[in-house]
Amino acid sequence: MISKILRFFLKLVLGIFAAVFALSLLAAALIVVVLSVLKSLITGRKPAPAMVFGRFQRYSPQGMWPGGPAQGNAANQRAGDVVDVEVREVRDDKRLP
């Protein structure tokens, strides 16, 4: 009888510890996300997780290895073409005081 009560309390205490641990991990993750968003708002850059997933989406048409054969559309296959441009000098006649 006493062993059943002790076993119940032990399971209860361990369950409470597990719940506190899980909630602390969730709180830490929430704090990191909030700080990352605040940093991105202050610096004007995209948050790091958004950049990572954007990179995955950008390279997904090319396959796993960017140096391999391209599986994308014709624009991706013509990316190596060289286009000559006309050179002209840009002059700024009006200078700021």
43 token code pair: 């610096």
Position 81 in a domain: no
Question: Within 10 Å of residue 15's Cβ, how many Cβ atoms?
Answer: 10
Position 96 in a domain: no
Position 12 in a domain: yes
Instruction: Convert the pLDDT of each residue in 28-69 to its tens digit.
Output: 999 998 998 899 889 888 777 777 777 766 666 655 555 555
Position 71 in a domain: no
Number of domain units in the chain: 1
Position 22 in a domain: yes
Range of the domain at 7: 2-64
Position 84 in a domain: no
Say how far apart CA 71 and CA 6 lie, in whole Å: 63
> Any alpha helices (H) in the chain, and if so which ranges?
2-43, 48-59, 74-77
33: nearest Cα among 54, 20, 45, 49: 49
pTM exceeding the 0.75 threshold for the entire prediction: no
Position 77 in a domain: no
